[in-house]
Structure 1
């Protein structure tokens, strides 16, 4: 290849790469809390085909500061004890979410179950179940977040209550 063509081809490739890279990173900022859809999913008619997905807004060390997470495992790693689930997308409960709602028998909303799955070190993950409503909510949590790090205690508490 002629040296001038090689230089032109290299410049064209570099320009194309710069456009691609800038297109991928421009506007790549943290998602502000204002972008979170705050409509409770219990008010959404199951007419869409997209499952409901939550973000978790958690208090940081008892201060006024919050941190937003997109996965349960990230919340568990930071050992947050106060979080609220906020729907970020979706219109229809997944089969797992619906099964959890059914098990909760009207004692908890989907947001409450999602919030409960996010936290560790607090009730019902660390306490005794003392009522049928608490047992129903715990059953919903057991179905909604089977990978929770304190699931063994929750299942033991459910079994002890239902004896």
Structure 2
């Protein structure tokens, strides 16, 4: 179901011409900047707030994936097809709640986390041209202040809003 919804969100973004907790308010990734290049299976959520994710990203080599424990590691690898798996925490942080609210129901927390891990693809690199894309952009800007392509997305949203 999440995969279908993620595909729908991505498709809406692409069709309109346009992939936390995310990052901490200071723009620093929440966990250590190491990459786990082995694929994890059965990542389980435990603990308390905030929710922290691992990112399972396609490598472009068939069905081969890599799992990253931080956004920065996924960004460095320039991944374009990621999913987010909760690893700890059960309650969203204030920043996570604000991001979902800013997305205006256009994306779930897990979808925002997965898209935050991606780089070099829409919505990060394309114009904002619809209310749905504007909601997604606003959610990502709130959720992912340290993203390397944040300035492009912020400018695209500014242009759209006029």
Instruction: Give the TM-score category using the shorter length.
Output: 0.7 to 0.9
Q: CA deviation at 1:31?
A: 7.8
Q: CA deviation at 1:34?
A: 2.7
Distance 1:112 1:140 in 2: 10
**For the aligned residues, what is the CA RMSD?**
2.0
Distance 1:82 1:96 in 2: 24
Does the Cα contact within 8 Å between 2:80 and 2:118 map onto a contact in 1?
Answer: yes
Cα offsets for 1:17-38 (capped at 9, x unmatched): xxxxxxxxxxxxx986233138
The answer to whether 1:35 aligns with 2:42 is yes
The answer to whether 1:105 aligns with 2:104 is yes
Q: CA deviation at 1:61?
A: 1.8
Distance 2:155 2:100 in 1: 20
> Which structure dedicates a bigger proportion of its chain to helix?
1
Summarize the Cα distance change of 1:97–1:54 in structure 2 as closer, same or farther, 3 Å threshold.
Answer: same
Q: CA deviation at 1:107?
A: 0.5
SS at match of 1:92: coil
The answer to whether 1:122 aligns with 2:121 is yes
Gaps of 5+ in 1: 1-29, 39-47
Q: Please name the residue that 2:149 is paired with.
A: 150
Q: Highest Rg: 1 or 2?
A: 1
Does the Cα contact within 8 Å between 2:124 and 2:153 map onto a contact in 1?
Answer: yes
Distance 1:62 1:150 in 2: 24
Q: CA deviation at 1:62?
A: 4.1
Runs of 4+ in 1 over 2 A off after TM superposition: 30-35
Query: Could you tell me the TM-score, scaled by structure 2's length?
Result: 0.73
Q: Please name the residue that 1:141 is paired with.
A: 140
SS at match of 2:115: helix
Distance 2:38 2:115 in 1: 23
Gaps of 5+ in 2: 1-36
Distance 2:123 2:98 in 1: 19
SS at match of 1:106: coil
Q: Please name the residue that 2:27 is paired with.
A: none
Query: Could you tell me the TM-score, scaled by structure 1's length?
Result: 0.72
